[in-house]
Amino acid sequence: MSQRRLWTISCILAGVLVFPRDGRAGIIEIIIEMSGPQMFGFLVECRVPIDGTLDQCTVVGKKVAGQAAPPPRKLWFSMEGGVYVSTGHDVDGLDYEFGKTYMLAFDPMMEVQTVTRQNFSMYHGVMGVSYNFLFGEGFRKFTNVAFKLRPIGVIIGNRVNISYNLRLYPSGFTADQFGQLPPSPETTKPETVHGFSVGYRF
C-alpha cells in the first residue's frame, strides 16, 4: 500500500474517531452494486424543512449545528454528502484493491415522512440528485451524475437509522474508467446502483 493511500485512509478513519456518533443521521453508506468497485462512505447531512429553518446538521453522525431534538417534520430538504473509499471486494472477476478508488458525493434530496410512532418512524426520498467525483490510483479522475431516490428509511427507537438508496445513472460506469480494461468504444448504458446507509445514536 502506497504512503499516499495509507495517509488518505488514515485521515478518513481519524474523522470517524474524532466525531462521536450521537446523531440521528446515517454514519456510513455501503454501495453494494455498481460497474466498478464496491465502496463505503462516511456521511455529512443537513436537513432543512420547507419553512426554511435549519433542523440539524451532522458530520459522521455528530450534530454540529441546529436543534438538539428537532420537532417531527413531514417534509424536508436534505443536503447529504460523503467521502467514499473502495472496499477491496472483487466485482465480475476484476480486482479492485482496498483504498485504491475514492469518491466525493453531493446528494441533495426532497424527503417525506409517512409514519410517525413513539419508537418507530418511516421516511422516503422522493426526488434527488447525486453528483459524484471519482479519483484514485491507476485511472484518470472523472465525474458522473445520477437521479437519486430513497425508497425507504426507518428510524427505530430514535437510535437506529437504516435507509435504502437508489441511484439511477443515465450514463453508467465502465471498468476501463477505473483502469481495469482498455478503453471501450461502446457507448455506456444506463445503470442502477444500490446502497444502504446505517446510523446509530449512542
- pLDDT, tens digit, 9 for 90 and up, residues 103-153: 999 999 999 999 988 889 999 999 999 999 999 988 999 999 999 999 999
Q: What is the pTM of this model?
A: 0.78
Q: How far is CA 46 from CA 25, 74, 109, 140, in A?
A: 9, 16, 11, 31
Residue 16: enclosing H or E segment and its boundaries? helix 3-18
- Residue 41 near residue 201 (C-beta atoms within 8 A): no
| Per-residue b or e along 32-58, where b marks 16 or more CB atoms closer than 10 Å to that residue's CB | eebbbbbbbbbbbbbbbeeeeeebbbb
What is the count of structural domains for the chain? Answer: 1
Q: What is the pLDDT of residue 43?
A: 85
Closest Cα partner for 15 from 24, 26, 27, 25? 27
**pLDDT digits 0-9 by tens, 94-112:** 888 888 999 999 999 999 9
| Enclosing domain of residue 184 | 3-200
Question: What residues form DSSP beta bridges with 40?
Answer: 30, 85
Return the C-alpha cell found at 68: 438538539
Return the pLDDT at 47. Answer: 77
Cell reading at 111: 424527503
Residues in the chain where the model's pLDDT stays below 70 = 1-26, 51-73, 182-187, 201-202
